[in-house]
Structure 1
Amino acid sequence: MKRILNINKIIALVLGVILFHSCKTAVDGFGADPYAGGKEALGVVFERLNRPLPGVRPNDVFEVSVKGLLKYKTNLEVFINEEKSEVVSLTDSTLEVRVPLEVSSGGLKVKINDQVFFGPRVPIEGNVTFDTDYGIKNGFNGSVTQILPGSSGNDFWILGSFTDFQNQASATVFRRNIHKINAMGESVATTAGSFSVQKGAEGIINSMVRLPDGKYMVAGSIFAMENLNKHRYNLKSITRLNSEGSIDSTVVELINTTPEKPLNAYDTLPAFNAYLGATFSSGSGNVTNLFATPDSGVIAVGNFGVHSYIDYKYSSRESKLSVFTAVNNIVRLKADGRVDSLFGYNNVGANGFISGAIETNDGKIVVIGSFTSFNGTARNRIVAFNKNGTINTAFNVGSAANDEIYSITYNKTLNIIALAGRFTTFNGQAKPGVVLLKSDGSIIPAFTLGDVQQRIATYAYVMNTGQVLVTGDFERYDGIKRSKLLILEANGKALQKYNNIGEFGGMINHVIETTSSLGYPALLIGGSIGLADGRAVGGLFKLEVRN
């Protein structure tokens, strides 16, 4: 015990000596001063930062309250959204700035030598406006993959990967991957026979189409749906819904392994007896797009490799016998869920990933992705199919894209296809990031994307006006700092009046042309979006675009 105490005394003495010398070193000036080298405070202070500035237009002059600038007037620079701006006048309490001719909404900053002071946001007025009167505030807590106008024309089905909308979800209210909103962005009331998706879907819904009989088909990475009576329907990628959104189900007779329980001879199952799954080479098994057929069936496109259906004759409630058929990336399904064997006979599929598809007015299905061959035929990231499932050899894309295509959209009114992706050439022509095609696959030469400093475009859509909406990860367009959401002319030029909005953050999946809260033309935009015109959004917002 005594030895232990002596050791403890020695340790305490050593620590004391170390502490003494450490303190002495700091006092003697040998220790590093953590504040050494800091810049002298310049005394510049922006005032009233919590008061939004009124909107201004290019060449307008506006005033902000800021103290401490006058003595630095020969050394200061002013920027609006990173664009250098003219100082019109300066006092010790105010700064007058002229708005540049080319600029988007963004922050004001003052630079004095190498020190920067941030001021208020400067809203730039133009023809494009965030619709603040649209009813959605918090929005969805996930991604919107598709917006489908309802049969009434006054509402929209919203599909995607989410579990809440406007903070409405609860133990009895469900907003799982499928929802319906009215024209003002408000939830449609759940009503029997009108709108009732029960507990929604488990798994992402990528696509929804209305069938000729008024029902709907949905598909994606869905693996189950459950009704309010807690009956769970096990699914694989695809199913059919009734007109109000509940799963289309039927009672079928099966083998009864427990004869003493007569009700076990029956089970309630999805009426659409079809399941689409993955194989080793097909990818995830998800469906990217659906297209309705006149017989209330569908053409499905995606990263699946096998179709199955339940053979009721050899199935019981406890054990289901499935019959499998190889299908690769594209398949036509009849109204009962069976494969149309005449469609795309002997189809071996793509050697890469499927990203999306559209249907043209003449019935072609155009598919895009990362593949370089389809059904054993060389096809660089884009391929078109005839109504019978064979490759359309008249689709004139030539050597097509030299790198991956991320998105495809189609304007049915103008009959124009828009592609966006990592490619830099298309059919041998320089078309970096975005290319517009006629429905026969030939290039529309007038449009070329401007300088985005080698950044990537992820989405493009041709509006009914002929203008082109483009989004991507770019910071500047033709040398001007812009939002990551552009509205370009048919030749690719960015007119100031259509590119006035502020920062956009996210990826667009779908655009619908509609009207704003004031009745002007507008775009309803859905995707994985958290920011639009510098405002927080939840997957869905509306932009008014005046002509």
Structure 2
Amino acid sequence: MKRVFPIILQLGIAVGLLTVTGCKTDIGLGEDPYAGGKAPLGVTFENLNRPLPSARPNDVVLLSVRGLKDKEARLEVFVNEEVTQVVAVSDSTLEIRLPQQVSSGAVKVKIDEQIFFGPKVTVEGKASFDADYGIKNGFTGSVMEILNVSGNTWVVGNFTDFEYEAAPKVFRNGIHIISSTGNSVTDTTINKIRWGAVGGLSSITRLPDGRFVVGGTMVSYDKRQVFGLTRLLYRGDLDTVKVELINTTPEKPQNALDTLPAFNANLYGPVVKVFATPDTGVIAVGNFSMHSFMNYEYSSRETRTYTFTRVNNLVKIRANGRVDSSFSYQNLGSNGFINDAIQLNDGRIVVIGSFTTFNGTSANRIVAFNTDGSISTAFAANIGQGANDEIVSMTYNKTLNKIALAGRFTSFNGQADKYGVVILNGDGSVDNFKLGDVHGKIPNFAYIMNNGKVLVTGDFVKYNGVHRSQLLILEADGNALQEYNNIGAFAGWINTVVETTSSMGYPALLIGGSISMADGRKVGNIFKLEIRN
């Protein structure tokens, strides 16, 4: 078959040939942009996806790696960035001895200025990730508070899914109930949550009669309009009541009634914490400034009338939703942000944040309120000058009556050695705990456990000169024992901790927050950490 090229194409080829053959000028090549670079060293780690056997400090670990034998004199090895002794090198293996102080982490080999990363070394110790706990994917957003109720766990936060279970008729919005094994509770005799909260929840408390109050930034619950907080029945469904309103359509008598939240109260601004009162009311703390209730007498289905009352940061609300005006009378509020609050065993409320005054009284980032809402002068006397900078989080151990503070402060009550973390007794007096050297970084969470040890997290990468996870288990004096600080990388921010037991029956912490990694494993904002005694 004869091939026919278009005339234009033939002319183009001819011109091209003339151009190529007619050009006599030599064009030199430019300089090699990679000239002078380091020659590849041929170092290869093998079986990177195969987990190594766990080891203890001072153990010898055998690694499969090629290309090191002729470079032994220039070889430096690290485990989790800690210098590690080289024991032996062959054509295909490397033996290293783990340091006495080391946390789980990757092997790093350095030859001159070239670096090669190897497998993770799991360091044995008394702290471990509970891999047998049922939660695998977790929540899609922050976990803000965890509450244990009759063997189950109630979780509130800013999530919209759990374990990817959400579907057109399955909702996981802001509140969920999970079992002790980490699975969703779907038994309707226990869980009747329907659509949940829109807008997010930050706190949950259980009332003396078994009902719950939740608070946060929500704008609806179970498709009913609520602002800031509301009350739930004992299975998590909204506590509602039928109310007679103005009927603007008399021809439709049914419009004279409407189903509304039984807890007739709204708060405008973020609710940080809610606390139950003995009379089934609630104390709310947060960055709100206004309370309202719906005036049924002047409301219809179409138009609702509200009565507003100014409240600042702290309010006690009765069971009927009205403000208890006898609590914290003439409350001026704080001159800064509220970050957290706890309720002591004696009923007093402690509040922390960035403020320096509360209700017109000097209060450097921390203040306590008596059960009548007045500022506790006894607590104020014990904390003295308070913190010299923001306190970002606070936790309370009811068993030990101990408060843990964490934040940006570098001194507390004038004591310069109280950097970043302070433990207080229930009366506000300062405990002897002293945080070690975090190399100028900022702790953001602390919790004192029933056994006296202190959990601390922050943006630090070293503690007292040793590379550690950003999650520490410290002794009562601030010392970091190797056996409790063996876990790998942690990434995130803790909001809540509950003491529980692990899948093996050992003491453990159920930890929630904005967390993406724990012990080098991907997590969905919640995980369980076993801590053996």
Map Cα deviations across residues 314-359 of structure 1 (whole Å, 9 max, x no partner): 1111111100111110000000110001000000000000001001
The CA distance in 2 between the partners of 1:345 and 1:382, in whole Å, is: 20
SS at match of 1:267: strand
Q: Which residue is 2:466 aligned to?
A: 480
- 1:339-378 paired onto structure 2 within 5 Å: 339-378=323-362
- 1:238 is aligned, of 197, 211, 229, to 229
Q: Which residue is 2:221 aligned to?
A: 225
Structure 1 unmatched runs, 5+: 1-12, 227-231, 278-284
The CA distance in 2 between the partners of 1:486 and 1:433, in whole Å, is: 14
The CA distance in 1 between the partners of 2:137 and 2:61, in whole Å, is: 32
Q: Which residue is 2:157 aligned to?
A: 160
- 1:308 is aligned, of 292, 297, 302, to 292
Q: Which residue is 1:28 aligned to?
A: 28
The CA distance in 1 between the partners of 2:186 and 2:68, in whole Å, is: 56
Give the letter for the 1:440 counterpart.
D
- The alpha carbon displacement at 1:24 in A equals 7.7
SS at match of 1:74: helix
Q: Which residue is 1:7 aligned to?
A: none
- The alpha carbon displacement at 1:109 in A equals 1.1
Q: Which residue is 2:5 aligned to?
A: none
- 2:238 is aligned, of 244, 247, 250, to 247
- 1:14-53 paired onto structure 2 within 5 Å: 27-29=27-29, 31-53=30-52
SS at match of 2:377: coil
The CA distance in 2 between the partners of 1:129 and 1:194, in whole Å, is: 31
Asked if 1:108 is matched to 2:107, the reply is yes
The CA distance in 2 between the partners of 1:183 and 1:205, in whole Å, is: 22
SS at match of 1:368: strand
Map Cα deviations across residues 454-508 of structure 1 (whole Å, 9 max, x no partner): 1010000000010000000001101111000000000101000000000000000
Q: Which residue is 1:122 aligned to?
A: 121
Map Cα deviations across residues 286-318 of structure 1 (whole Å, 9 max, x no partner): 110111001110000000111100110011111
Give the letter for the 2:153 counterpart.
F
- The alpha carbon displacement at 1:190 in A equals 4.0
Q: Compared with structure 1, are the counterparts of its residues 254 and 61 closer, same or farther at alpha carbon in structure 2 (3 Å cutoff)?
A: same
Q: Which residue is 2:424 aligned to?
A: 437
The CA distance in 1 between the partners of 2:407 and 2:198, in whole Å, is: 30
Q: Which residue is 1:5 aligned to?
A: none
Give the letter for the 1:63 counterpart.
L
The CA distance in 2 between the partners of 1:264 and 1:68, in whole Å, is: 83
The CA distance in 1 between the partners of 2:477 and 2:404, in whole Å, is: 14
Q: Which residue is 1:181 aligned to?
A: 178
Map Cα deviations across residues 387-438 of structure 1 (whole Å, 9 max, x no partner): 0000001102111000000001011111110000000000000211000111
The CA distance in 2 between the partners of 1:483 and 1:54, in whole Å, is: 20
Give the letter for the 2:305 counterpart.
L
The CA distance in 2 between the partners of 1:450 and 1:194, in whole Å, is: 45
Asked if 1:402 is matched to 2:398, the reply is no
Give the letter for the 1:180 counterpart.
I
Q: Which residue is 1:201 aligned to?
A: 197
- The alpha carbon displacement at 1:272 in A equals 0.2
Asked if 1:270 is matched to 2:261, the reply is yes
Q: Which residue is 1:10 aligned to?
A: none
- The alpha carbon displacement at 1:38 in A equals 2.3
Give the letter for the 1:434 counterpart.
V
Give the letter for the 1:521 counterpart.
P
Q: Which residue is 1:327 aligned to?
A: 311
The CA distance in 1 between the partners of 2:171 and 2:25, in whole Å, is: 67
Map Cα deviations across residues 235-255 of structure 1 (whole Å, 9 max, x no partner): 110000010000001110011
Map Cα deviations across residues 219-271 of structure 1 (whole Å, 9 max, x no partner): 10010022xxxxx3111100000100000011100111111111111111100
The CA distance in 1 between the partners of 2:37 and 2:168, in whole Å, is: 55
Asked if 1:525 is matched to 2:511, the reply is yes
SS at match of 1:425: coil
Give the letter for the 1:28 counterpart.
G
- The alpha carbon displacement at 1:440 in A equals 1.2
Give the letter for the 1:381 counterpart.
R
SS at match of 2:178: strand
Give the letter for the 1:453 counterpart.
H
The CA distance in 1 between the partners of 2:34 and 2:187, in whole Å, is: 62
The CA distance in 1 between the partners of 2:218 and 2:71, in whole Å, is: 62
Asked if 1:451 is matched to 2:437, the reply is yes
Map Cα deviations across residues 357-384 of structure 1 (whole Å, 9 max, x no partner): 0011111100000000000011000000
SS at match of 1:497: helix
Give the letter for the 2:274 counterpart.
L
Give the letter for the 2:213 counterpart.
M
Give TM-score, length-normalised by structure 2.
Answer: 0.94
Structure 2 unmatched runs, 5+: 1-14
Q: Which residue is 2:11 aligned to?
A: none
Q: Which residue is 2:271 aligned to?
A: 287
Poorly superposed stretches of 4+, deviation over 6 Å: none
Give the letter for the 1:502 counterpart.
G
The CA distance in 2 between the partners of 1:244 and 1:37, in whole Å, is: 71
Give TM-score, length-normalised by structure 1.
Answer: 0.92
- The alpha carbon displacement at 1:34 in A equals 3.1
The CA distance in 2 between the partners of 1:47 and 1:209, in whole Å, is: 52
The CA distance in 1 between the partners of 2:258 and 2:408, in whole Å, is: 49
The CA distance in 2 between the partners of 1:363 and 1:326, in whole Å, is: 24
Q: Which residue is 1:546 aligned to?
A: 532
Q: Percent identity?
A: 60
Map Cα deviations across residues 120-173 of structure 1 (whole Å, 9 max, x no partner): 1000000001000000111111110001001x1x21001101111111111011
SS at match of 2:297: helix
The CA distance in 2 between the partners of 1:54 and 1:323, in whole Å, is: 66
Q: Compared with structure 1, are the counterparts of its residues 383 and 41 closer, same or farther at alpha carbon in structure 2 (3 Å cutoff)?
A: same
Q: Which residue is 1:61 aligned to?
A: 60
- The alpha carbon displacement at 1:32 in A equals 4.2
Q: Which residue is 1:170 aligned to?
A: 167
The CA distance in 2 between the partners of 1:37 and 1:223, in whole Å, is: 63
Q: Compared with structure 1, are the counterparts of its residues 237 and 46 closer, same or farther at alpha carbon in structure 2 (3 Å cutoff)?
A: same
